[in-house]
Structure formats: C-alpha cells, structure tokens
Structure 1
Amino acid sequence: MTSRVIFISPATSRALRQARFDDGDSIDDAGAARAHAAAGSLPRAVRVVATPSVRCRETATALGLRAEDAPGPAAWDAGRWRGRTLDEVGAAEPEAVARWLADTASAPHGGESVEDLCARVGSWLDSVADTDGRTLAVVEPEIVRAAVVHALGLPAEAFWRLDVPPLTATELSGRAGRWNLRLGRLLDEPEAGADV
C-alpha cells in the first residue's frame, strides 16, 4: 500500500507578507486569483482536508476543493504572539525570541514549541500513512515544514531551514513508514501523469 500526501500551502495574505503570526486574516486578491487559476492543476484524491485557519479554508475553496476540517495538522499555536510580526515581538521580547529560535523545545510565547509542533504533525502524518491513495491537505507553511522534518527523520533544528512558498505542493509518498519527498511544485504547473 502506497500513501501519498500532497501538502498545499495557502495563498498569500497580508499576514503572510508581513511575517505576522497568523491572525485569522483572509487571503489577498492576488492570492485568490492565483488559487482560482490553479484550480484545475490538482490530482484527484481519496481524501481532501484543510486546517481550520481562514486562509487555508479560503485557499481550498478558491482551488475548487471541498475539504474536511483537519484538526491534526492545525496551525501552530503561537500563544500570545498571535497576530504580531516577528519584528514586533523581537523588539518587545528579544531574549524570548532568541531562546525560541535557538532551542526547539522552547515556547516562551505560551504556545507550542517546534518539537511539540513536529510531534503533533508527525502523529497525524503517521495516521494518514494507513490511507491507501492520495490525500490533499491545505495547511499552513509551518505544518509542511514539520511534516518534512518528521518524514525524513531530521533533527528539529532543520525546521528553521525549510522555506515553503505560497501555493506550492510538497508531496510525501511512501509505505511501511518510509517516506519520499517531492517538493516545491507550483500549483499552476500540472503534475506529470496526474489524473486531473
């Protein structure tokens, strides 16, 4: 049995452009237009899920997907930093930001640490591994990063070294607990051999 999970990162939003911890904002007009244009580029899937964040739900809708809520790969809990930019937090709490960036077990904002996030997303990914066929998951960029860290058995510190551009597909495929990674396909580029 081969499982495939294609992670779709959300369209652009004001918060994403400002490097703001998710504040529940909507995707912007340019992001919505790109998502609408990419609607026909996704392969069929046995399961389509989206995290409950506004921008992921709106991206899924713009892509023409009827997605179920997926609480397992929900957005990162940034605690009291939610809605603030990294620059704002860095100016107000420089020691806390430095500790957060240096120690993957640290959560000075009162939310999840990088390690906690990777473990939560890893548990969800392991449960999806039992699904034969393809799963499409519209999720926040940090969820894609955590999934890649887990799937490849990378140290948690690698989380900070992964970039996930808006409206890209990152695919994990595998069987028997071993994942392979295909990353960075733009959604407006049809997948080779995709049954769309």
Structure 2
Amino acid sequence: MAVRVMLVSPAMNAALREARFAGDAPLDDSGLRRARAAAGTLPAADRTVHGPSRRCTRTADALGVRSVVEPATHDWELGRWSGARLDEVSASEPEDVAAWLADPAAAPHGGESLLDLCARVGAWLDSLDLDGDSPRRVLAVVEPAVVRAAVVRALELPPQAFWRIDVAPLALTDLSGRAGRWNLRCGRPLAPGPGR
C-alpha cells in the first residue's frame, strides 16, 4: 500500500538569513508570524512528527500541528561547523569546504557526510512503508537538509543533486509511494488560512 509523506520545511530564522550552519537556532519573530499565518493550511495526516531542533518544534507548534519528535529526522550533523557562517568557514577552511562540496563521502567537519545523511533519511522513509498499522499519511516538519536528502534518496538521484535542490521556508514537499518507488510533488507553499 502506498504511503504519502508530506515534508514541511520550518519557518525562517536568523541563522538561515545569515547563511549559518544552523546548529539549533530558534525561529525569529518573522518566522513565527509566518508559521502562525499558515496554521490550518496543512493536509490531513494519520501521523505527525517533527525534527528535534527548536526551529522544527516551534514551527510545528505555530502551525498548530500536534506532533512528536522523530529522532531520525534531525538536521545534518555538521560537527565543528555547526553555528558558524558559511563565509567564515570558507575563509578559514577553503580546502575542507571544497572537499565537502565535491565529495559526498567527505565529512571534514567531523559530522555526517552527505552519503550518511541521505542513508539515514532514506532508512526513515523506508521504515514508513510497513504493512499493518503503519500510517498511510505522514506529515513531518523537518529541516531543509532532511527534505533535500529525502528527495535525493526517494528519486534515486546521484548524491551531488542534493546541492541543486532548493527548499523554501514553510514549503510542502510531497512524496508518495513506497520504498524503491516514490513519486515527488515539489515545494508547494503553505497558503495563509482565511482571515489571516
């Protein structure tokens, strides 16, 4: 039986505006307002989850989503780069950044490689395609890197395609199907509900 996985990227925050390797940065006021304005616009789900970051948790709360933390959907672990700005890391470690961008197996920051991220997210997707009591519609508020990794894994794209996928804040990405056979409906913005 097919599963529908609806991935919602969290609202904007200062780390995203500053091109930071996010770490666990919370929503800012603007992101919180936009998430609240989009409350009530999400499709129905049998199960709702969110990534463990403060940004995902606050977005889910602001959207009015009653969800539980799904540890497998945590953000890309970027080791010592976490919290730093991309331009700062590029200036201080240009060779490491170049290797990280070119080689999906590289993890010069001491965290996960791109291959590890895609495998982790892919294993989570595959776990949703179980017989019996598994939900048929799963809504997940997850970091953009998790959405990108899910698309790469679901469509069996080369890992380098990860860098060519943009995920806007508060966008809905639909995957439907089952392990080994997923279809994609790309980044539909969440429209504000009536009277907002």
**Taking structure 1 as the reference length, what is the TM-score of the superposition?**
0.94
Aligned to 2:146: 143
- How big is the shift at 1:175? 3.5
1:78 correspondence with 2:78: yes
Q: What SS class does the counterpart of residue 72 from structure 1 fall into? A: helix
Q: Unaligned stretches of 5+ in structure 2?
A: none
Alpha-carbon deviations, 1:114-167, whole Å to 9, x = none? 000000100000001223421000000000000000000001111111000000
- How big is the shift at 1:176? 5.8
Q: What SS class does the counterpart of residue 39 from structure 1 fall into? A: coil
Alpha-carbon deviations, 1:150-191, whole Å to 9, x = none? 00000111111100000000000013631100011111168x
Cα distance in 2 between the residues matched to 1:59 and 1:176: 28
Cα distance in 1 between the residues matched to 2:47 and 2:154: 19
Cα distance in 2 between the residues matched to 1:120 and 1:176: 14
Cα distance in 1 between the residues matched to 2:54 and 2:139: 17
Runs of 4+ aligned structure 1 residues displaced above 3 Å come to: none
Aligned to 1:123: 123
**Taking structure 2 as the reference length, what is the TM-score of the superposition?**
0.94
Aligned to 2:41: 41
Alpha-carbon deviations, 1:43-98, whole Å to 9, x = none? 11111000100100000000001111101111110000000011010011000000
Cα distance in 2 between the residues matched to 1:37 and 1:56: 16
1:155 correspondence with 2:155: no
Aligned to 1:186: 189
Q: Unaligned stretches of 5+ in structure 1?
A: 191-196
1:109 correspondence with 2:109: yes
Number of residue pairs the alignment of both structures matches? 190
Aligned to 1:134: 137
Check conservation: 2:13, 2:25, Cα contact below 8 A. yes
Which letter does structure 2 place at the counterpart of 1:79?
A: G
